Amino acid sequence: MTQTDLHSILKIILEAIQGKNFIWRLDGSANLIMQGIETTVRDLDIDTNDEGIDIFKNALNKYVIKNFYSEKIKGRSLICNINNFEIEINSYGDRKSDIFDKTKTTNWQGLNIPILPLPYAKKFYQLINRQNKVDLINRYL
């Protein structure tokens, strides 16, 4: 996914949820890109709570291809296809991995996006046992 693709997809998402006030943030590699880490973005990861899953499900209904309970995260998930890219929206059952109180909004290419700052993204990756991402973040901290 190029930065142009990423911008286009985020713009679609932001327009769909415009005016809705709820908890969510961009996670995964796209979160790292927005903070200056060079990495590849294959899909878009969004973290929210159960209320947010419902809001995203309604707002992005025409893009939703799967709505399910994930054993892996012990919570609800949506899979969307926007511009032929996968968008995974999760509500983790383990609330420790949310770290929503650490979410900050950043302006990236004119879009205001809630993200998880790098020190907390590192903690998140430690919680879900993604050592490769922890090592990547360590090189930038």
pLDDT tens-place string over residues 22-65: 999 999 999 999 999 999 999 999 999 999 999 999 999 999 99
Q: Would you kindly state where each structural domain of the chain is located, as residue ranges? A: 3-140
What confidence score (pLDDT) does residue 87 get? 98
- Is 104's pLDDT higher than 80? yes
Q: What is the pLDDT of residue 73?
A: 86
The fraction of the chain above a pLDDT of 90, given in percent, is 85
Range in 58-67, 74-83, 96-105 with the lowest mean pLDDT: 96-105
Instruction: Place 97 in a pLDDT band, splitting at 50, 70 and 90.
Output: low
As given in the structure block, the two tokens for residue 59 are: 């707002």
- Reading phi first (left if > 0) and then psi (alpha if -120 to 50, else beta), residue 109 is in left
Q: 3-140 is classed in which CATH architecture?
A: 2-Layer Sandwich (3.30)
- Does pLDDT of 99 surpass 90? no
Which among 79, 77, 123, 100 is positioned nearest to 25, based on CA atoms?
100
Higher pLDDT, 67 or 97: 67
Task: Give the whole-number percent of the chain exceeding pLDDT 70.
Answer: 97
Residues 6+ apart with CB under 8 A from 26: 10, 34, 44, 45, 46, 113, 114, 115, 116
| Token digits of residue 112 | 């205001």
